[in-house]
Amino acid sequence: MRRALPQLASVVMALSALPAADAFARDAAVRQYLDRDTAATITAMDRPLVFAHERVSLAVHARDYISLVAVDVNRGGNHRLYWYGFVWTTMDDGGQLAADARRSDWLLLADARPVPLRPASTAPRELGIGEAPVDRPVRNAIAVVFEADAEVLQYLGTAGQLSLRRADGTDYPLWRDAREALQAFLGQLSH
């Protein structure tokens, strides 16, 4: 009987930690930090939505990717929302995808509703983003920044289907879903 008490206590302690672990998991979907370069407070999804375009005509598992995280830049109480992301490919295309991505118009399709992505008017550092809010997925990935607004972010967080489309008609279906991180981000903004 004496041996059962320590085991029972261990089980009770483990079960009592579950709600705390669940709360930590929800909070872990959001990253907040003070940007050392710009002194802005950055709140961002801790993992990106990743969209991919298959290029099987070139090679097996050949893909072009674009990843996006929602970001809130707080400069002295002035909040601005952006999509921060990266464009990269598994193929050596001499930088063509990155050049095309910067020149191309992108549509985010949420349940077939087109949402144009407007490139930010200035460099990320001038927007208050000196330090990337997420890790660069591969060494040659190129950063992209688009303007965002809360209403559209709310809609995207509840949409059933998400994809991206370039102006030339190239589709990028959702490859890695992170809408739970988007929901956590939106919840953090409402506090």
pLDDT, tens only, 134-177: 999 998 888 999 999 999 999 999 999 999 998 889 999 999 99
Q: What is the pTM of this model?
A: 0.81
Tokens of 189: 């903004």
Helix (H, G, I), strand (E, B) or coil at 165: strand
CA atoms of 50 and 65, how far apart (whole Å)? 7
pLDDT at 164: 95
pLDDT at 47: 96
Q: How many helices and strands in the chain, by DSSP H and E? A: 5, 10
Q: Is pLDDT above 80 for 49?
A: yes
Q: Which residue has the tokens 């041996």?
A: 3
Strands (E), the chain: 30-34, 41-45, 49-54, 63-75, 78-89, 106-110, 113-117, 142-147, 162-166, 171-176
pLDDT at 175: 96
What's the sign of the alpha-carbon dihedral 39, 40, 41, 43? Answer: negative
CA atoms of 144 and 126, how far apart (whole Å)? 14
